[in-house]
């Protein structure tokens, strides 16, 4: 412990240490396995029957998906090369104003419970999934 650390400790000041300081320097990287065809961003891991029905309809398995919580999605929109499905989550703030937003394969839906109860929302989701069919079969 150096002198400055000792003084801060004596004053009762808590020091925080970054777990991954390279992220602050813009060196963050997400390693996405080659088999991943769909990134799902959801607060909870989807377990609803409709989720598995959707995966089956687009010929994917759970192993073809990378499921992330919103805090785990650290990639900038420029690095997005997969279909990303936000389930009941807003897009990250920097993404919302990006000029690249329209050119990326991004799907947003309400919760799976609400989706299961609405034929119109399911139809809209299906239309979006069909747009990105070539991403799932790559």
In Å, the largest CA–CA distance within the chain is 65
- Span 95-125, pLDDT tens digits: 888 888 888 899 999 999 999 999 999 999 9
pLDDT computed for residue 28 by the predictor: 53
pLDDT computed for residue 67 by the predictor: 94
The span from the CA of 123 to the CA of 33, in Å, is: 30
Q: Please give the model's pTM, rounded to 2 decimal places.
A: 0.77
- Span 47-65, pLDDT tens digits: 999 999 999 999 999 999 9
Q: Tell me the sheet residues that pair with 39.
A: 66, 84
- Gyration radius from the chain CA atoms: 20
- The secondary structure element, H or E, covering residue 116 is helix 112-117
> Which range, of 6-20, 38-52, 82-96, 112-126, averages the lowest pLDDT?
6-20
pLDDT computed for residue 96 by the predictor: 87
Eight-state DSSP code of residue 83: E
């Amino acid at each position: 412990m150096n002198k400055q650390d000792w003084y801060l400790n004596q004053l009762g000041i808590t020091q925080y240490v970054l777990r991954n300081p390279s992220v602050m320097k813009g060196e963050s990287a997400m390693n996405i396995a080659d088999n991943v065809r769909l990134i799902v961003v959801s607060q909870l891991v989807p377990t609803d029957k409709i989720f598995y029905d959707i995966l089956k309809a687009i010929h994917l398995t759970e192993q073809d998906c990378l499921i992330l919580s919103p805090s785990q999605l650290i990639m900038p929109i420029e690095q997005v090369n997969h279909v990303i499905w936000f389930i009941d989550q807003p897009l990250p703030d920097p993404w919302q104003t990006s000029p690249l937003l329209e050119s990326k394969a991004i799907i947003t839906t309400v919760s799976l419970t609400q989706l299961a109860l609405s034929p119109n929302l399911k139809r809209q989701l299906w239309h979006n999934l069909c747009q990105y069919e070539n991403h799932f079969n790559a």
